[in-house]
């Protein structure tokens, strides 16, 4: 697996906020970049809890979206 080109830091969510999230409606970060063409804002984010690199699909430039880390399951904003 090639190294990610640019990895930005994810934003940590406090425990009370992350406990209220519906896990069925939150996207999980990917361990590897998918082979198919990705979107304009898709990219790598570092989990603020465990430091694992997550490939986040569907990010937007105008708002933060919540993702779960593929490694530790921590919720963060990207």
pLDDT in tens, 29-39: 999 988 886 77
pLDDT in the model for residue 39:
77
Tokens 């530790």 label which residue? 72
Mean pLDDT of 56-75: 93
All structural domains of the chain with their residue ranges: 7-11+24-73
Mean pLDDT of 1-25: 87
Calpha distance 6→35 (Å, rounded)? 17
pTM of structure: 0.85
How many CB atoms lie under 10 A from the CB of residue 46?
19
pLDDT in the model for residue 4:
66
Check whether 61 has a pLDDT greater than 90.
Answer: no
């Amino acid at each position: 697996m090639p190294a990610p080109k640019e990895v930005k830091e994810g934003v940590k969510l406090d425990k009370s906020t992350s406990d209220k999230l519906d896990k069925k409606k939150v996207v999980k970060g990917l361990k590897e970049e998918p082979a198919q063409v990705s979107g304009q804002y898709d990219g790598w984010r570092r989990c603020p809890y465990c430091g694992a690199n997550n490939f986040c699909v569907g990010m937007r430039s105008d708002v933060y979206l919540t993702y779960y880390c593929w490694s530790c399951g921590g919720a963060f904003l990207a």
